[in-house]
Amino acid sequence: MSTIKMFTLNTTQEIMGTLVEDDGTALVIKNPLWLQMVQTGQDQYGIRMDPLSFSAPVSNQRFMKHAIVAEILEIPKGLEEAYIRQTSSIQIVSSLPGQM
């Protein structure tokens, strides 16, 4: 199974993507998405996932480790599932009848 990483850059952007390679100085991430908080209603907020690069939205991109200020070690399950739905053709279904 692929390793999904979520980290914050020194620009304050939160990034989520699939780890392809870690060479010690940089991470190569496939299909990185930028997580942004958006208002969905009065006093209600959600998270929008946008491609980090609109010129190459489906690609491997290198992130230098010196620009990463934090790594989220426990990605919330809902965020991880949303990333998978947005970047692949895999459909996530519940193992419990009537649950989705």
CA distance 48 to 50: 6
Beta bridge partners of 22: 27
> pLDDT for 2-39, tens place per residue?
699 999 999 999 999 999 999 999 999 999 999 999 99
Query: In this structure, what CATH number is given to the domain that contains residue 72?
Result: 2.30.30.100
Has residue 80 been placed in a domain?
yes
Has residue 15 been placed in a domain?
yes
Has residue 27 been placed in a domain?
yes
> pLDDT for 31-65, tens place per residue?
999 999 999 999 999 889 998 887 776 789 999 99
Domain ranges, residue 63? 4-87
pTM for this entry: 0.77
- DSSP symbol at 75: -
